Amino acid sequence: MPAKISIIGAGNVGATSAQRIAERGYADVVLVDIVEGLPQGKALDIQQSAPVINFNTAVTGTNGSKVVIITAGLPRKPGMTRDQLLAANAEIVTGVINNIVKYSPECIILMVSNPLDAMTYLAVKASRFPRKRVVGLSGVLDSARLSTFIAGELKVSPKDISAWVLGAHGKGMVVIPRLTTVRGKPLTGLLPEETINKLVERAVQGGAEIVGLLKSGSAFYAPSAGIARMAESIIRDKKEILPCAALLDGEYGIKDSVIGVPVKLGRGGIEQIVEFELSAGEKQRLYNSAEGIKLLIKQMGLG
Ligand code: NAD
């Protein structure tokens, strides 16, 4: 029987992720949304592309999924920060989690709704799943944005760039340029500090730049590509090491907060939290980022 992935929220991010996952044949996909007809209509539309694109996966509705992707919730509007979505999305995500626990108690949750780190924390607590079964999309997207800008600046293929964006998915993002390499060469030796800072700032503001251009809704092509990559590593047990949001329990000197760190993603979900060698200053930046998320956790009445 093919593996199944459920996606909660059939909006821009959810439906495009469904399309990518189905087309690549990773798993059958179940789209879920509260708007009547929306997930059914989009699933049918995606399914009808199968003869043209030539894929054999099914996009329908059922229960008992291996991976559940949560994109349910409001996206930001121009000028808004992700944190301003906290109250509205916490309510939506809590309701969604209760159903997941009921219908897919053994699944791995892939959180997408913003503010991402706080929602990932909420998902661990509300589901009572072990922390290895809850992971959030942050660094895969933020690193892709940074790689895009570096590739443009250096005129190299983005494929040759290995970027690591850690920390919170928002203003607490932590970019460590010496860990970002182009064919093994640290970025710090390839570009002046001032240029690196400009590229990093553009990556930190990457989501807001798109929100500002779109005027309504937020990014979904690159986010859904990130989601599909993470889902693939889990479903195909690829054990890729990717920057993802995870609940920390002492790693990097941080306890009881969620931020982006390198994790090994496989069949069991987060199979390892990889600890890079960091300087005291770099560790402090990660710590501060995690403390920022703790404030959001407190605002939700958790932690
Ligand atoms: P969207 O408005 O296009 O879609 C959200 C969908 O969720 C809507 O169709 C809505 O009807 C549905 N929904 C609301 N409550 C629901 C519920 N209880 N159950 C099921 N469905 C429900 O928004 P989008 O662009 O798809 O973004 C979705 C979320 O993902 C937002 O919170 C956005 O900020 C976030 N996001 C996160 C990242 C990331 O890197 N983590 C990237 C992009 C977007």
Predicted pLDDT of residue 1: 66
Mean pLDDT of the chain: 94
Residue 218 Cβ contacting ligand 1 at under 6 Å = yes
- Using the mean position of ligand 1's atoms as its centre, give its distance from the Cα of residue 35 in Å: 12
pLDDT band at 34 (very low <50, low <70, confident <90, very high): confident
Instruction: State which ligand 1 atom lies nearest to the alpha carbon of 112.
Output: 41
Neighbours of 213 (CB within 10 A): 9
- CATH no. for residue 98? 3.40.50.720
Instruction: Among 83, 102, 136, identify where a domain stops.
Output: 136
Whether the pLDDT of residue 62 is over 90: the answer is no
Going from the C-alpha of 237 to that of each of 21, 69, 267, the distances in angstroms are 15, 17, 5
- Domain containing residue 215: 139-299
Predicted pLDDT of residue 64: 59
Rounded-to-integer distance, Cα 58 and Cα 61, Å: 9
pLDDT digits (tens, 9 = 90+) for 204-254: 999 999 999 999 999 999 999 999 999 999 999 999 999 999 999 999 999
Residues 125 and 212 grouped into a single domain = no
Rounded-to-integer distance, Cα 213 and Cα 198, Å: 19
Residue listed under structure tokens 């090491």: 241
Rounded-to-integer distance, Cα 303 and Cα 254, Å: 14
Residues 35 and 175 grouped into a single domain = no
Residue nearest to atom 29 of ligand 1 (CA): 113
Q: State which of 19, 32, 34 you would mutate to test the pocket of ligand 1, scoring each by most atoms of that ligand within 8 A of its C-beta.
A: 34
Instruction: State which ligand 1 atom lies nearest to the alpha carbon of 13.
Output: 26
User: How confident is the model over 108-133, as a mean pLDDT?
Assistant: 98
- Contact between 182 and 153 (Cβ < 8 Å): no
User: How confident is the model over 184-188, as a mean pLDDT?
Assistant: 95
**Percentage of the chain with pLDDT > 90?**
86
Residue 230 Cβ contacting ligand 1 at under 6 Å = no
Residue listed under structure tokens 């939700």: 300
Q: What value, to the nearest 5°, has the Cα angle with vertex 89 and ends 210 and 66?
A: 95
User: How confident is the model over 90-104, as a mean pLDDT?
Assistant: 92
Predicted pLDDT of residue 33: 87
Q: With the C-alpha atoms ordered 223, 66, 92, 303, is the resulting torsion angle positive or negative?
A: negative
User: How confident is the model over 274-286, as a mean pLDDT?
Assistant: 96
**Domains contained in the chain, number:** 2
Whether the pLDDT of residue 61 is over 60: the answer is no
pLDDT band at 2 (very low <50, low <70, confident <90, very high): confident
Predicted pLDDT of residue 81: 87
- Using the mean position of ligand 1's atoms as its centre, give its distance from the Cα of residue 76 in Å: 10
Residue 243 Cβ contacting ligand 1 at under 6 Å = no
- Using the mean position of ligand 1's atoms as its centre, give its distance from the Cα of residue 70 in Å: 8
Neighbours of 194 (CB within 10 A): 7
How far does CA 270 lie from the centroid of its chain?
A: 13
Whether the pLDDT of residue 31 is over 90: the answer is yes
Rounded-to-integer distance, Cα 137 and Cα 116, Å: 7
Residue 95 Cβ contacting ligand 1 at under 6 Å = yes
Predicted pLDDT of residue 16: 97
**Residue positions annotated with a catalytic role:** 169
Residue nearest to atom 34 of ligand 1 (CA): 75
pLDDT band at 63 (very low <50, low <70, confident <90, very high): very low
Virtual CA dihedral for 82, 174, 147, 139, nearest 10 degrees?
Answer: -60
Whether the pLDDT of residue 297 is over 90: the answer is yes
Q: DSSP code of 74?
A: P
Residues 108 and 163 grouped into a single domain = no
User: How confident is the model over 132-147, as a mean pLDDT?
Assistant: 98
Residue 75 Cβ contacting ligand 1 at under 6 Å = yes
Q: State which of 33, 109, 141 you would mutate to test the pocket of ligand 1, scoring each by most atoms of that ligand within 8 A of its C-beta.
A: 33
User: How confident is the model over 25-53, as a mean pLDDT?
Assistant: 92
Q: State which of 77, 218, 229, 258 you would mutate to test the pocket of ligand 1, scoring each by most atoms of that ligand within 8 A of its C-beta.
A: 218
E strand map for 38-107: 59-60, 67-70
E strand map for 137-223: 161-162, 165-167, 173-175, 181-182, 185-186
Residues 161 and 262 grouped into a single domain = yes
Going from the C-alpha of 294 to that of each of 118, 119, 212, 280, the distances in angstroms are 8, 12, 28, 21
Residues 116 and 206 grouped into a single domain = no
User: How confident is the model over 125-144, as a mean pLDDT?
Assistant: 98
Between 35-44, 165-174, 228-237, 263-272, the lowest mean confidence (pLDDT) is in: 35-44
- CATH no. for residue 274? 3.90.110.10
Residues 20 and 129 grouped into a single domain = yes
Predicted pLDDT of residue 285: 97
Residues 289 and 151 grouped into a single domain = yes
Q: Greater confidence, 104 or 117?
A: 117
Residues 182 and 84 grouped into a single domain = no
Whether the pLDDT of residue 108 is over 90: the answer is yes
Instruction: Among 116, 136, 156, identify where a domain stops.
Output: 136
